[in-house]
Chain A
Amino acid sequence: MSDAIRFLLGDRERVLRDVPPTLTVLEYLRRHERRTGTKEGCAEGDCGACTVVLQEPDGQGGLRRRAVNSCIQFVAVLDGRQLLTVEDLKAADGTLHPVQQAIVDRHGSQCGFCTPGFVMQLYSGWLGQDYSERPEVKNWIAGNLCRCTGYGPIIDAGLAALDAERPGTAETTALAERLEALGHGEMLHLAHDGPHGRQEWFAPRSVDELAAIYLAHPDAVLVAGATDVGLWVTKQHRHLATLIDVTRIPELAALRDTGNELAIGAGVTHSAAMEALSALHPDLGKLLTRFAAVQIRNAGTVGGNIANGSPIGDLPPALIALDARLQLRKGREQREIALENFFVAYGNQDRAPGEFVESVTVPKLRPNTRFACYKLSKRFDSDISAVMAAFSVTVEAGRIASARLAFGGMAATPKRAKAAETALMGSAFGLEAFEAAAVALAEDFQPLTDMRASAQYRLLAAQNLLRRFALENAPAGRPVATRVLEIAHG
């Protein structure tokens, strides 16, 4: 067991011991290190001003990197990694990094408060060659807000810096080796006595270790990407006594393709799942590009999105429509349930104390199945869904043989529209059948009015989505230029 967080801050080694485990990386930087280049605009993952870059060895002599929101990441995330902030990019002689210079040249900074976040987000993409075209840059910085520039100059800057020379392999290998040497492969255990009592953090390294520790501390909070849990601390000021990190476990971070199915470990981030889910169906990939933004997807996990039980989570409706199954484990016991049965009621899931989500298994689509998913939100990008819908309809011998219509934002849990599904069964695939389903949908749901949308909007838009699905998939329907998911795309 290790009792300290070891990492590189820029190129300097740091060891943190006896820190509150829920200290955020941002607070650590700004208050403890007095490194104020990294900004706090919201402390809840919404603005990107706090973006920093983490690098770690990829196990093959290279580096893996990701930009994250430091405001909702706890310091333990640094263990064994390199933390880069906006102060680290200048050359030793003071020369600005090409990304920085491009922002100066293109007037991408006015008041400058958002700028460090944009610099780091663009820098991570530049390093990883994650973008080369305008739409890609736009997508890459979707999680960074700027109130001054109108974004155009920043996007120009991102494109302008593209061709600048990147670090050579020798440099990368040396850094990877340095980080390998920092790593210990042991379970991290932090303990800290604070004003509200003792706080402990465990980062087990195997599923068995996790199972044992969670069984011993059934009241502990599991932490995956912390994109929800981080907010409990920064916004709700909750005191969390025991936390168990599930992201340092190789088995949980694995994606397995069995041919017919895709098994996604609970610790797989949205970014890591993107490719495999896109291969299942392109809509799933597009859905993920509209799931928060890069920094959140780099941290947030598929498991967390399911386990948090939110009625407006984006993945559950899609996975329910695909008939996914959930693998749960408690101590040595494992069980499997249909994902839709996991969501019992608002704030209540079928999960016992000490039990955790191990993985979710998603069957691949059959050729005669038509699938689509739609995310409707008030603001196109970086917004929580007002309505989330996913439809999977199988046609046999010209008739609808099965239908799974799943919705988020329409009820207290992600839920199938059973009446609408029944209305479809046995009909020919076409507008007529879906009109009937749309009518039946009013029996399935009595949505609420809230800040995101009115109840009427939700029902009407959900009905229109059924109609649209019919038109898009009908053999001789009207031509549809774009899928809903792309409608508002910039």
Chain B
Amino acid sequence: MADTATLIGRPSIGQPTRRVDGPLKVSGGARYAGEYFADDLLHGYVVSGSIAKGRILSIDTSAAMAIPGVVEVFTHENRPRTAWFDSKYQDQVAPPGSPFRPLYGDGILYSGQPIALVVAESFEAARDAAALVKATYAPEEHITDLDAVKGQSYVPPKKRSGIAPPPEPRGDAEAAFAKAPVKVHETYRVAVEHHNPMEPFATTVVRDAGGKLTIYDKTQGSQNAQAYVTGVFGLNQSDVTVVNAFVGGAFGIGLRPQHQLFLAVMAAQALERSVRVVLTRDQMFTLSYRPETIQTLSLGSAPGGKLDAIMHHAVAGTSHFEDYQEVVVNWAGLLYGCDNVKLSYELAKIDTYTPSDMRAPGATLGVFALESAMDELAYAAGVDPLQLRLTNYADFDQNEDKKFTSKALISCYEQGAERFGWSKRSAEPRSMRDGHELVGWGMATGVWEAKINKTAARASLTETGHLEVSSATSDIGTGTYTVMALTGADAFGLPIEHVTARLGDSSLPTAPVEGGSWAAASTSSAVVDACDKLKQALFKQAQSMPDSPFGNVDFDGVAFRDGRMMLAADEGSSVKLGEIVRSARQHRMEAEGSAAPDSATQKEYVSYTHSAIFVEVKVDEELGVVRVTRIVNAVAAGKILNPKAARSQILGGVVMAMGAALEEETFADHNLGRFMNHNFAEYHVPVNADVQDIDVIFVEEPDDKTSPIGAKGIGEIGIVGTTAAIANAVYHATGKRIRDLPITIDKILA
């Protein structure tokens, strides 16, 4: 059973609400994947390989086996049988290719690849023994440097499901660019970043006497993990439950099953014991990452800045075994009106693990390049950067030739600029100072897709009148528990303490992985539907009760409030919900509901969230130190379900963007083919001193088409565009255009 959250407060949709899971999280009561115990629990410790490419010649486990308490050391040589076909390893979000199969054979595909799992009675024994596993290799020449292979880039032959390839070119972008009076043509890059959620990856497999597995896994999708395990190990769905009640952050790295899940289940099955495998922080750097991407942007405009040509070309790194894809360049054809557009997206293979979705995948990169180039165009054309965006404002999506369900980006620009004081900006770079520091103001636009995904939910009412809403969705810190509970409370007019939300358990109604900002809108829409169905069932039952006051009305004639069903016209005539359940001789009544995108709407409309970001930086010229002193992020995201949670999501996104802009980068030593800074001392994520004044504005944006409840999702939009706004502010401060992120002290001083 999953831990469920205690619910407090008495709020309603659209009102700021405390999180229902807050009390457990502040008191140490929320249990994460690596924190479940079993009397027969064994501890697994992963041994990582040390070369980037080649073969394992030999692997000596005798010294490790000799450590007291060590039960088994699994390698490719003694791995128990698992699925043969790589298609079995394919999960819901896998890109085209052959997924990595841990301990499958002697081949080494990337540095840090797991080559053994030491399993012992104690963690200490497993850890100590892991250090004694010795492998010898036949290394082959590897390439981890994207620059070395970018010349061999290719259009991915098979598209990744859910990822729109670049649209067909429109107009004649090359010709238009050639004769454009104002031009920008530049290359932009963003370094490899690792997600680094605070919780390291972990799996605890609890095996009961009958061999059934309850798997506590750090994942963004319990059912995705369940399907992976049953597929790979040939198990019945009914014998495997995956629980992810609490997930200590993920940002995309938990979308796909990670190797500790495979290893823990493998060991549990082979040894017929419960097993836990937890990765260390440095092993987190052997997992996936945001791909390094080289982008070229060409913008051509009329003298006033009206765009006449856009060309955006991107080359992104991927592994040799999968074609990971994300939407990098399409934004350039979407965000601004322009008749001559050519967009292309290619991959190049390097000897690393497959990259993965990381918060606002693709857009974080593509919009950085686009919005940096737009800033450059503003200077080239001599117009204000904000004015340039307004001049080129797009009223409809030229990529797909569809209307927007809603687009309040103009309000974002206006309200953001007003709050920031943009009109007081002096255009010239290096023209603003504070003491000996240079001051820079920059802005950019953000955009992210809004959609709902097919999701089911259950609503169930007990004889005591308590409502439980449930779905196999996840809460990776995004507040899904709270939004679900609120939605249920709202539907029944119940105080929220009479509602329990359950999620993070593969046995609950079907839901997709939690990613792409869609969980809140999709799950709450499904909860609304389930509640509606349950209300109708309750109504039917109530009608059949002796002396029912509802005999002569139809469903529209009743209302639900404070745990009662009542006549809308006469609130005095009411029945307690629990009584209705009891009258059916049941302990509970329940109904399932679902939500799915509406295909009729999708034919005509596209849906996006938008934002306008305004940034102030101060730069110490002599030392290259940059501080982001002020950010205003104005967001249009439809209806905001829980303003407190939404604000907090945007703040988190903005701060992650500050990291990407100024600090975060994983360095590779291309000679070794290995990431070098695999810890928090060297991989810098923002600390609180980096964060000063961040102001979030949600502009009004009525939307009745994106989702039944009018919400669009706010998990990703905060990060998109913010990096560009910071880079643009650095240019305004210093006159130095830095096109490769992060903007570190030495780049400023160079």
Contact = CB atoms under 8 A, between A and B. Distances in A.
A315 B428 CA distance: 42
A142 B687 contact: yes
Contacts of A379: 663, 684, 686-687, 690
Contacts of B199: 39, 41, 111, 113
B28 interface: yes
A386 interface: yes
B68 A480 contact: no
Interface string A84-128: 011101100000100011011101011111111001000000000
A145 B19 contact: no
Interface in A205-257: 235, 237, 239
Given A44-B281, A451-B676, A488-B627, A109 B691 contact: no
A107 B644 contact: yes
A305 interface: no
A37 B651 contact: no
A14 interface: no
Given A155-B688, A379-B690, A36 B26 contact: no
Contact of A36 (B31, B197, B686, B744): B31
Nearest to B67: A195
B740 interface: no
Contacts of A105: 18
A451 B667 contact: yes
B746 interface: yes
B125 interface: yes
Contact of A489 (B131, B249, B437, B689): B689
Interface stretch (A58-66, A408-416, A460-468): A460-468
Given A37-B29, A43-B280, A85-B28, A378 B745 contact: yes
Contact of A451 (B250, B282, B677, B745): B677
A465 B624 CA distance: 12
Contacts of B746: 453-454, 456-457
Contact of B651 (A153, A456, A468): A153
A115 B31 contact: no
A271 interface: no
A381 interface: yes
A146 B651 CA distance: 12
Nearest to B281: A42
Interface string A459-490: 01100110110000000001111101001111
Interface in B712-750: 744-746, 749-750
Contacts of A113: 32, 197-199, 248-249
A381 B124 contact: no
A152 B684 CA distance: 19
B674 interface: no
A147 B656 contact: yes
Interface in A364-383: 376, 378-383
Nearest to A89: B27
B750 A457 contact: yes
Interface string A31-61: 1001111111111101101000000000000
A191 to B, nearest CB: 17
B69 A195 contact: yes
Contacts of B19: 104, 107, 109
> Which of B22, B652, B655, B663 has the most CB atoms of chain A within a 10 A radius of its CB?
B22
B27 A456 contact: no
B247 interface: yes
B651 A112 contact: no
A331 interface: no
B625 A488 contact: yes
A447 B78 CA distance: 49
> Which of B198, B282, B479, B680 has the most CB atoms of chain A within a 10 A radius of its CB?
B198
Nearest to A104: B22
A488 B689 contact: yes
A378 B663 CA distance: 8
> Which of A89, A100, A196 has the most CB atoms of chain B within a 10 A radius of its CB?
A100
B26 A96 contact: yes
Given A381-B687, A490-B688, A482 B477 contact: no
B694 interface: yes
A110 B652 contact: yes
Contacts of B23: 96, 100, 104
A418 interface: no
Given A42-B679, A379-B690, A451-B682, A36 B28 contact: yes
A197 B60 CA distance: 22
Contacts of A461: 622-624, 745, 749
Interface in B653-689: 653-656, 663, 667, 676-677, 679-682, 684-689
Given A101-B26, A105-B18, 6 more contacts: A89-B27, A109-B26, A195-B128, A468-B622, A478-B436, A480-B435
Interface of A: 20, 23, 27, 30-31, 34-44, 46-47, 49, 85-87, 89-90, 96, 100-101, 103-105, 107, 109-116, 119, 138-139, 141-142, 144-155, 194-196, 235, 237, 239, 376, 378-384, 386, 451, 453-454, 456-457, 460-461, 464-465, 467-468, 478-482, 484, 487-490
19 contacts: A36-B28, A36-B31, A39-B32, A46-B681, A87-B28, A111-B477, A112-B246, A113-B199, A147-B198, A150-B653, A151-B655, A151-B691, A153-B648, A195-B69, A196-B128, A378-B684, A461-B624, A487-B625, A490-B689
